[in-house]
């Protein structure tokens, strides 16, 4: 009886912190009987409190297994729905390197069968290095997005010369003219005339050609791929599905002059449930709708089912990392709700830049004292001396244990694996966090926390 009571209580705290819920990507998170955060990887487990006690904060912990599982699952789900729907095109997943270029992220994705999408000459240079070291199978396919400098184009040509399938996506008329010399297949980017709910400001979209422009180009030499990327973290599934429908219409029109056009690249945009309390679409339902819609629309227009490429980045990378800080002090916020400021030993503007840039919402949980009875409504302040270095959950509050009742308090931000690393900066010359890798029950240090000498050096000292 007593045991039953205990387990009900235990689940109460799991529920409070929204842990153990596959549908919001917290399936692998749990709480130890001591009230510390636990992450499971198969039958391995990591006590996050023990890890931060050993390695200090600020710290990022990356779980490669999560990337592997998500890539494998994504490819398998697309293939399964393709089979169920009787869809006759193939599916290719391309991991967009811009989302997280750390070697520890890219290699597990490739190991599970991801192809790549690069956005710059420097990202492509890393692919070249891996090919030269014979680390990548030369069958790997590389989509080249973003504006193309001459350096970028010569690298594309060099790798094509070495036998790599490298597909440049034409962005504008200058690239269109330049790519007439390119011997391999090319893609073209269209800015679809569809509005979706997301942070992206459609009015000022400067990428690719308009629908009218792309059709007016008529025959495009070696055209194989019609590409679009309309936004990231698209809020509703219908937005992403509408894009598929519209792209098939454009594809059908373009095929009249370009019979070699056989692929639609649907770009990124699949969102992540950062906010664990809101309902959010699942990858499975989204994939099912995408395949069904593509088939239905192709059949209606009696056009060949195109191969499908997805460049979902955030979807794969975000849930694979957590970022941990220590609360170093408390101050009153003097707002109506009686919030406190909890000051952390890291910085939103430096380490989690989208907090500032996109008003990104995060799921925040304590790393210890997870079974605390008394809670405090808080706002979190970074330790740079900038008033924008804060996280207020959109002006509401974050619930955390009362600091006065704890010996020390650590907090974890979930889903920090996408975009934050490459955007990271050094406001007030704060050090970047330690990066740890948790795999097969072991912790490896991928990058040590920066020393004052290392930070100073980056600024010429
Ligand atoms: C061309 C392109 N593809 C894919 C992505 C990845 O988007 P997401 O992380 O939303 O999947 C981006 C992100 O900006 C992009 O610009």
- Which of 148, 267, 357 to mutate to test ligand 1, by most ligand atoms within 8 A of the CB atom? 267
The token pair at 295 is 């088939």
Q: Is residue 371 part of a domain?
A: yes
Same domain, 99 and 150: yes
Q: For 277, phi and psi rounded to 5 degrees? A: -90, -20
Asked if pLDDT for residue 305 goes beyond 80, the answer is yes
SS percent in the chain: helix, strand, coil, step 5? 35, 25, 40
Same domain, 215 and 337: no
The token pair at 37 is 């955060």
- Measured CA to CA, the distance from residue 151 to residue 18 in angstroms comes to 47
**Residue 58 preceded by cis peptide, ω within 30:** yes
Query: Which atom of ligand 1 lies nearest, measured to the CA of 231?
Result: 10
96 CA from centroid of ligand 1 (Å):
6
Asked if pLDDT for residue 39 goes beyond 70, the answer is yes
Question: For 74-98, what is each residue's pLDDT tens digit?
Answer: 999 999 999 999 999 999 999 999 9
Range of the domain at 185: 67-312
Question: Going by CA atoms, what residue is nearest to atom 12 of ligand 1?
Answer: 268
How many domains does the chain contain in total? 2
Angstrom CA distances, 436 to 64, 207, 274, 321, 366, stand at 11, 36, 22, 10, 19
Question: Going by CA atoms, what residue is nearest to atom 5 of ligand 1?
Answer: 268
313 CA from centroid of ligand 1 (Å):
6
Q: Is residue 285 part of a domain?
A: yes
Q: Is residue 144 within 6 Å of ligand 1 at its C-beta? A: no
Same domain, 304 and 385: no
**What is residue 9's predicted lDDT score, i.e. its pLDDT?**
57
Average pLDDT of 359-376?
A: 96
Contact call for residues 291 and 266 (beta carbons, < 8 A): no
Question: For 61-76, what is each residue's pLDDT tens digit?
Answer: 999 999 999 999 999 9
Asked if pLDDT for residue 390 goes beyond 70, the answer is yes
444-458 burial, b at 16+ Cβ within 10 Å, e below that, comes to eeeeebbeeeeeeee
Q: Is residue 3 part of a domain?
A: no
Q: Is residue 344 part of a domain?
A: yes
Q: Is residue 229 within 6 Å of ligand 1 at its C-beta? A: yes
Same domain, 163 and 93: yes
310 CA from centroid of ligand 1 (Å):
9
Question: For 314-344, what is each residue's pLDDT tens digit?
Answer: 999 999 999 999 999 999 999 988 999 999 9
Query: Which atom of ligand 1 lies nearest, measured to the CA of 269?
Result: 10
> Residue 251's pLDDT band (boundaries 50, 70, 90)?
very high
CA–centroid distance for 353 within its chain: 14
CA–centroid distance for 151 within its chain: 27
Q: Is residue 16 part of a domain?
A: no
- Which of 144, 208, 232 to mutate to test ligand 1, by most ligand atoms within 8 A of the CB atom? 232
Q: What is the DSSP string of 118-168?
A: E-SHHHHHHHHHHHHTT-S-TT-EEEE-S---HHHHHHHHHHHHTT-EEEE
Sign of CA pseudo-dihedral 132, 223, 87, 246: positive
Same domain, 172 and 220: yes
Last residue of a domain, one of 250, 278, 312: 312
Q: Is residue 99 within 6 Å of ligand 1 at its C-beta? A: yes
**What is residue 2's predicted lDDT score, i.e. its pLDDT?**
43
Indicate the burial class of 59 (C-beta count within 10 angstroms; 0-12, 13-18, 19 or more): buried
Contact call for residues 171 and 146 (beta carbons, < 8 A): yes
Q: Is residue 355 within 6 Å of ligand 1 at its C-beta? A: no
179-197 burial, b at 16+ Cβ within 10 Å, e below that, comes to beebebbbbbbbbbebebe
DSSP-derived 3-state class of residue 107: helix
Q: Is residue 419 within 6 Å of ligand 1 at its C-beta? A: no
270 CA from centroid of ligand 1 (Å):
9
Q: Is residue 11 part of a domain?
A: no
Same domain, 328 and 259: no
Question: Going by CA atoms, what residue is nearest to atom 6 of ligand 1?
Answer: 268
Give the CATH number for residue 350: 2.40.37.10
Q: Is residue 13 part of a domain?
A: no
222 CA from centroid of ligand 1 (Å):
24
Question: For 88-131, what is each residue's pLDDT tens digit?
Answer: 999 999 999 999 999 999 999 999 999 999 999 999 999 999 99
223 CA from centroid of ligand 1 (Å):
22
Same domain, 347 and 366: yes
Query: How many CA atoms lie less than 13 Å away from 264 in the CB half-sphere?
Result: 27
232 CA from centroid of ligand 1 (Å):
6
Beta bridge partners of 180: none
Question: For 189-224, what is each residue's pLDDT tens digit?
Answer: 999 998 887 776 666 678 899 999 999 999 999 999
102 CA from centroid of ligand 1 (Å):
16
DSSP-derived 3-state class of residue 413: strand
- Measured CA to CA, the distance from residue 49 to residue 413 in angstroms comes to 14
Last residue of a domain, one of 312, 331, 350: 312
Give the CATH number for residue 90: 3.20.20.10
Same domain, 37 and 153: no
Q: Is residue 312 within 6 Å of ligand 1 at its C-beta? A: yes
Q: For 399, phi and psi rounded to 5 degrees? A: -90, 125
Q: Is residue 1 part of a domain?
A: no
Angle separating helix axes 283-300 and 64-85, nearest 10 degrees? 30
Same domain, 440 and 399: yes
Q: Is residue 270 within 6 Å of ligand 1 at its C-beta? A: yes
- Which of 99, 100, 106, 188 to mutate to test ligand 1, by most ligand atoms within 8 A of the CB atom? 99
Same domain, 299 and 162: yes
Last residue of a domain, one of 246, 278, 312: 312
Same domain, 101 and 243: yes
- Which of 92, 97, 98, 207 to mutate to test ligand 1, by most ligand atoms within 8 A of the CB atom? 98
Same domain, 226 and 243: yes
Q: Is residue 313 within 6 Å of ligand 1 at its C-beta? A: yes
């Amino acid at each position: 009886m007593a045991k039953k009571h205990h387990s009900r209580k235990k689940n109460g705290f799991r529920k409070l912190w929204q842990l153990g819920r596959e549908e919001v990507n917290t399936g692998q998170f749990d709480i130890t009987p001591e009230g510390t955060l636990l992450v499971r990887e198969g039958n391995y487990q990591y006590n996050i409190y023990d890890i931060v006690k050993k390695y200090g904060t600020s710290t990022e912990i990356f779980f490669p297994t999560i990337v592997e599982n998500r890539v494998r699952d994504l490819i398998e789900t697309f293939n399964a729905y393709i089979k169920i729907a009787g869809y006759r095109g193939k599916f290719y997943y391309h991991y967009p390197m811009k989302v997280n270029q750390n070697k520890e992220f890219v290699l597990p994705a490739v190991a599970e069968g991801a192809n790549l999408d690069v956005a710059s000459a420097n990202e492509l240079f890393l692919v070249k290095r891996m090919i030269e070291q014979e680390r990548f199978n030369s069958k790997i396919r590389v989509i080249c997005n973003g504006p193309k400098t001459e350096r970028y184009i010569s690298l594309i040509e060099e790798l094509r010369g070495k036998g790599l399938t490298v597909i440049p996506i034409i962005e504008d008329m200058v690239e269109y003219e330049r790519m007439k010399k390119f011997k391999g297949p090319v893609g073209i980017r269209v800015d679809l005339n569809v509005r979706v709910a997301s942070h992206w400001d459609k009015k000022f979209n400067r990428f690719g050609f308009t629908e009218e422009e792309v059709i007016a180009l008529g025959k495009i030499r070696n055209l194989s791929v019609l590409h679009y990327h309309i936004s990231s973290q698209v809020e509703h599934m219908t937005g992403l599905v509408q894009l598929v429908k519209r792209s098939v219409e454009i594809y059908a029109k373009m095929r009249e002059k370009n019979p070699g056009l056989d692929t639609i690249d649907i770009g990124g945009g699949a969102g992540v449930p950062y906010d664990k309390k809101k309902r959010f679409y699942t990858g499975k339902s989204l994939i099912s709708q995408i395949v069904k819609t593509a088939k239905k629309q192709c059949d209606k227009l009696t056009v060949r089912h195109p191969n499908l490429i997805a460049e979902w980045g955030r979807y794969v990378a975000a849930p694979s990392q957590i970022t941990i800080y220590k609360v170093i002090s408390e101050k009153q916020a003097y707002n109506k709700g009686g919030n406190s400021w909890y000051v952390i030993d890291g910085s939103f503007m430096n380490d989690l830049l989208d907090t500032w840039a996109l008003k990104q919402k995060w799921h925040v949980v304590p790393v210890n004292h997870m079974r605390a009875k008394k809670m405090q409504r808080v706002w979190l302040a970074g330790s740079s001396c900038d008033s924008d270095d804060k996280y207020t959950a959109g002006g509401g509050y974050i619930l955390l244990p009362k600091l006065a009742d704890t010996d020390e308090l650590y907090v974890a931000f979930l889903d920090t694996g996408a975009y934050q690393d490459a955007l990271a900066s050094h406001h007030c010359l704060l050090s970047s966090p330690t990066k740890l890798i948790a795999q097969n029950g072991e912790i490896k240090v991928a990058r040590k926390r920066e020393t004052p000498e290392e930070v100073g050096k980056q600024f010429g000292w």
